[in-house]
């Protein structure tokens, strides 16, 4: 029979595995995506003989406008009409990323698409539109550095999928385990609270037992060590049906068992038998009903 802690751990593991499987499936079933990147470089116009300070100022002030031009509705609409297989301007806007490298005059335009050919064509077309806009004219020009776009696969690899799924699965399992520990305490902890509520301050063994299973070794050791007959007290009707089996098992192991209720229990040791699902309050009521001089040896949770 699994203990409450093992059951909670099992539930947490199952939840973690489910989260892992869902995460992995969601990521692996996504369509493949590709990133295409084209770089542009600002260079001084040969017809201008201004100082390098003027060139640097123009580049520093003009390059931020590249972001607006590359993602402007006019450019995106023109590119989407030109490139076969291109998404619409609105969808294309979310697929375009423009990066500025500070102090270098370098601009990187990246476009994501579900086809490497479409991604490459889109990135090249947008870079050509930006270069043709002459944003830095007349002090400088933007020229396309790459003859063809650099294409990389953007879809997550197996190792990334497995790692992310594992992390999310562990987090989900830990959360479930914590919630179960708070809202569904283990039977042993409920029995401990019941003993405290009943005013039984001395240590009483809390033992788990399942009908048909052998007599638990801790119970057998405690019963033999008591050196007195054992009286079984059932907390409910179902436990009463199981108490006869437990009594027979104790007798077969050489432990004397009495079922008689006596006003004076000083000559016996009492073992309470209760269902594991019983609440701490209900079990405490049963324990309070025992005579004041009861020597409670153990609480058996079935």
Q: What is the pLDDT of residues 108-166, one digit of tens each?
A: 989 988 888 988 899 899 888 888 888 777 777 788 888 888 888 776 667 777 788 88
Torsion angle defined by CA atoms of residues 140, 142, 147 and 150, in that order, rounded to the nearest 10 degrees: 130
Average pLDDT of the residues in 267-271: 78
**Residue 293: is its pLDDT beyond 80?**
no
pLDDT at 164: 81
Over 50: is that where the pLDDT of 36 sits? yes
Q: What pTM was estimated for this model as a whole?
A: 0.48
Q: In sequence order, what are the beta bridge partners of 42?
A: 142
Both 167 and 129 in one domain: the answer is no
Residues 173 and 235 in one domain: no
DSSP 8-37: HHHHHHHHHHHHHHHHHHHHHTSPP-EEEE
Say what the pLDDT of residue 14 is: 86
Q: How many domains does the chain have?
A: 3
pLDDT at 264 over 70: no
Do residues 138 and 198 both lie within one domain?
A: no
Question: Average pLDDT, stretch 13-42?
Answer: 82
Same-domain status, 41 and 14:
no
Beta bridge partners of 230: 257, 269
Contact of 122 with 111, CB cutoff 8 Å: yes
Is residue 262 predicted with pLDDT exceeding 60?
A: no
Question: Are residue 70 and residue 18 in the same domain, yes or no?
Answer: no
Residue 1's pLDDT band (cuts 50, 70, 90)? very low
CATH of the domain at 104: 3.30.70.1130
Cα–Cα distance, 230 to 271 (Å, whole number): 7
Residue ending a domain, choose from 104, 135, 153: 153
Do 245 and 267 sit in the same domain of this protein? yes
Per-residue confidence (pLDDT) for residue 193, from 0 to 100 = 65
Same domain assignment for residues 72 and 149: yes
Both 119 and 45 in one domain: the answer is: yes
Structural domain of residue 135, as residue ranges?
Answer: 34-153
- Higher model confidence: residue 84 or residue 262? 84
Q: Are residues 9 and 21 in the same domain?
A: yes
Between residues 18 and 59, which one has the greater pLDDT? 18
Question: What pLDDT does 49 receive?
Answer: 52
Asked whether residue 65 carries a pLDDT value surpassing 60, the answer given is yes
193 with 251, same domain: the answer is: yes
Task: Let me know: does 167 contact 27? Beta carbons within 8 Å.
Answer: no
By DSSP bridging, strand 150-153 and strand 34-44 are antiparallel
**Does 7 have pLDDT greater than 80?**
no
13 & 161 share domain: yes
Do 226 and 255 fall within a single domain? yes
CA–CA dist 108, 126 (Å, integer)? 11
For 164-208, the pLDDT digits (tens) are: 888 888 888 888 877 776 666 555 566 666 666 566 656 777 777
């Amino acid at each position: 029979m699994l203990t409450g802690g093992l059951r909670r751990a099992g539930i947490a593991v199952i939840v973690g595995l489910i989260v892992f499987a869902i995460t992995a499936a969601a990521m692996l079933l996504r369509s493949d995506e590709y990133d295409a990147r084209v770089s542009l470089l600002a260079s001084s116009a040969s017809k201008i003989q201004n100082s390098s300070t003027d060139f640097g100022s123009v580049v520093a002030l003009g390059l931020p406008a590249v972001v607006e031009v590359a993602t402007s509705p006019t450019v995106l609409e023109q590119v989407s009409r030109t490139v076969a297989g291109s998404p619409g301007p609105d969808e294309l806007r979310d697929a375009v990323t423009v990066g500025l490298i500070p102090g270098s005059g370098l601009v990187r335009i990246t476009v994501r698409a579900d086809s490497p050919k479409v991604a490459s064509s889109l990135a090249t077309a947008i870079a050509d539109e930006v270069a043709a806009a002459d944003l830095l004219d007349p002090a400088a020009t933007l020229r396309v550095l790459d003859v063809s776009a650099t294409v990389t696969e953007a879809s997550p690899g197996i190792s990334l999928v497995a790692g992310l799924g594992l992390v999310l699965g562990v987090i989900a399992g830990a959360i479930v385990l914590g919630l179960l520990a708070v809202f569904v305490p283990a039977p042993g902890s409920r029995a401990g609270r019941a003993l405290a509520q009943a005013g039984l301050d001395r240590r009483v063994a809390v033992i788990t037992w399942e009908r048909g299973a052998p007599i638990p070794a801790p119970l057998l050791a405690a019963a033999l060590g008591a050196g007195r007959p054992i009286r079984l007290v059932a907390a409910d009707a179902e436990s009463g049906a199981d108490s006869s089996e437990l009594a027979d098992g104790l007798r077969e192991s050489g432990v004397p068992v009495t079922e008689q209720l006596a006003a004076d229990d000083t000559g016996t040791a009492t073992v309470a038998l209760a269902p594991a699902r019983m609440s701490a309050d209900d079990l405490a009521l049963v324990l309070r009903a025992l005579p004041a001089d009861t020597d409670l040896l153990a609480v058996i949770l079935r």
